[in-house]
Structure 1
Amino acid sequence: MTEQATFGGGCFWCIEAAFKELDGVHEVTSGYAGGHTANPSYREVCTGNTGHAEVVQLEYDPEVISYDDLLEVFFTVHDPTQLNRQGPDVGTQYRSIVLTHDDEQRELAESYIEALDEEGGYDDEVVTEVEPLETFYRAEENHQDYFEKNPQDAYCSMHAQPKIEKVREKFQEKVKA
C-alpha cells in the first residue's frame, strides 16, 4: 500500500527531479498547494497572488522508503532557511513548505525541523512551514517530468542537476538501481 507526501522547496521542476531518483517513490507530480484560489494556473501562481506554493506530491511505498527518509532528502536538496525563495526564484510560491497528510506526518516534520535548529547545521533558522494539506492542484502537463523532457534547459542544468547529483551521492543506498 502506498502513501502520499507533499513538499515545496522552490521550483517544482528541481524538487520533482530529485525525488524521482528514490527507490520506493512510485510517482512524483508537480502542482500547487497552500493557497486560496481554486484551480490556479502556472501563470496565476507565478504572480504570487494565489497564495499557492509550487509543490510536488509523492506516492511512495513506506515499506521501501520512510517518511523520515523523504524529509531528510527534502531538507538536503533545498535551503530551508531561505524565506520565500530558492536560488534565483523569489516569491511566496517558492517558499519552503511541508504539507502534511495526517497528524503523524505533522509530528515527524515538526520534530525534524526542531532537530535541525537544535543541531545548528545552518547559520540561520529554518523557516519551513508545516501545514495540513487542504487541496493539491496538479500543474499543467508541460510541467510534469520537466527535467526528463528538457535535460538541456539551462535552468535545469544549473539548478535541478546539482540536486539530483546530491541525492545520488548522499543517498546512494536509497537511489533506484
Structure 2
Amino acid sequence: MSADIPGALEAHESSNSAPAHARTGPRLRWNKVPEVTLYFWVIKVLCTTVGETAADLLNEKLGLGLTGVSLLMSALLVAVLVVQFRTSAYRPGVYWLAVAMISIVGTLISDNLTDNLGVPLETSTIAFAILLAVVFIAWYRSERTLSIHHIDTTRRESFYWLTVLFTFALG
C-alpha cells in the first residue's frame, strides 16, 4: 500500500496495532473515517444544522407526522449505513450522507421523546449521556482504544456510529 494515500493503513501496522482480542471481525484495508481537520469541523457543524432544520422541515411539509417522518428517515439511515459499512475505505459522499442522516434521526429521536412521549429534555439529556458513556466503556473494553484513527473493523465502526448517533440525540 502506498503511504501517500490518506487514511491508508499499512497491513502489518493494522495487524499489530491492536491486541489479539481486539482484532476480531473482518479487517478492513482502510480507515473508514476522515482526518479530523478544520474542514471536518466545518462540515460537521453544517451537518448538525441540516439535521435540526431538516427534521423540523420534513415534519411540517411531508404530512406524515413526527412518527411517520421518524420511521422514513430511520429507514433511509439504515440504507445509508448499509452502504457505509460495505465500503472498504473512507468515501466522502457516503460518510457525510451518513452523518447528515444520523443528525436528522438523532434530532427526531429527541423530538419524539419530548413531543410524543412527554419526556423532559433534562431526562433525555441524562439518558443519552449515560448511553454515550456506556458505548465508550464498551468500546474501550472490547477494543482497548477509542481512537478514530483506526476505524478498520466492523466492530469499531459500529461503536463509532453509535457514538455519533447518541451525540446527535444528546444535543
TM-score, L = length of structure 1: 0.26
Higher strand share: 1
Larger Rg belongs to: 2
- Higher-helix-fraction structure: 2
